[in-house]
């Protein structure tokens, strides 16, 4: 029964090797799908390309359903899967900062690394900016960010339990929302694309 590493089924070395292989595969798929193209990524915010949103939303729903079923049939113990405690205020602020950087740079952390490896200069600058931000945060943590880091503490909780509903009900709701979202963004994309073609 999984997860393999927390339950002691595999050791540190094999765990790192599996993670490395999965990471390489994930990066390869990002590049193959065109997710290292800033136009495709920024298209989510400008309404002309929602492929990124569709792919990652679909991946999240698929993973949620898969984990739910594996837990139900005893193939994995969700209690052994690590996820950090929730601090909603810094999480919300960090989300806005990341979205702002996403719009300006056209990359998220993962896609920026993939694009930098392929030799794209704008991605290299983006990664450099991220490194500067990380180092800056580390050196200014105690005087500036330590108090903010601990605000909005909710403990180790997920959205379903916070809402007081079962995991299955939450996944069903999210699946319905995904279907509605996919329909809506398809309509939006068609209208934006038609408007752009008309202007050209």
Whether a cis peptide bond, with omega within 30° of 0, leads into 3 is yes
For residues 160-180, average pLDDT: 91
Query: In sequence order, what are the residues at sequence separation of 6 or more whose Cβ sits closer than 8 angstroms to the Cβ of residue 89?
Result: 148, 151, 152
Count of positions (residues) in the chain = 200
Model pLDDT for residues 80-105, shown as the tens digit of each residue: 888 888 898 999 998 898 888 888 88
pLDDT at site 199: 61
Phi and psi (nearest 5°) for 104?
A: -70, -50
| Residue 37, pLDDT above cutoff 60 | yes
- Rounded to the nearest 5 degrees, what angle is found at the Cα of 128, between the Cα atoms of 123 and 134? 125
Model pLDDT for residues 115-165, shown as the tens digit of each residue: 898 889 989 999 999 999 999 999 998 888 888 888 989 888 888 888 899
């Amino acid at each position: 029964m999984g997860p393999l590493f927390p339950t002691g089924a595999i050791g540190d070395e094999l765990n790192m090797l599996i993670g490395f292989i999965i990471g390489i595969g994930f990066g390869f798929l990002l590049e193959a799908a065109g997710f290292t193209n800033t136009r495709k990524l920024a298209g989510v915010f400008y309404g002309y390309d929602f492929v990124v949103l569709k792919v990652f939303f679909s991946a999240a729903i698929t993973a949620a359903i898969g984990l739910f079923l594996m837990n139900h049939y005893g193939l994995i113990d969700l209690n052994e899967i690590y996820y950090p405690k929730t601090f909603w205020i810094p999480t919300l602020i960090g989300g806005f900062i990341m979205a702002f950087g996403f719009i300006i740079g056209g990359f998220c952390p993962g896609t920026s690394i993939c694009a930098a490896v392929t030799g794209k200069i704008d991605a290299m600058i983006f990664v450099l900016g991220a490194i500067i931000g990380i180092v800056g945060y580390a050196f200014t943590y105690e005087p500036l960010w330590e108090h903010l880091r601990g605000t909005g503490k909710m403990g180790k909780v997920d959205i379903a339990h916070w809402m007081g509903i079962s995991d299955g009900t939450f996944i069903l709701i999210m699946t319905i929302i995904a279907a509605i979202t996919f329909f809506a963004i398809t309509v939006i994309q068609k209208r934006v694309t038609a408007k752009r073609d008309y202007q050209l």
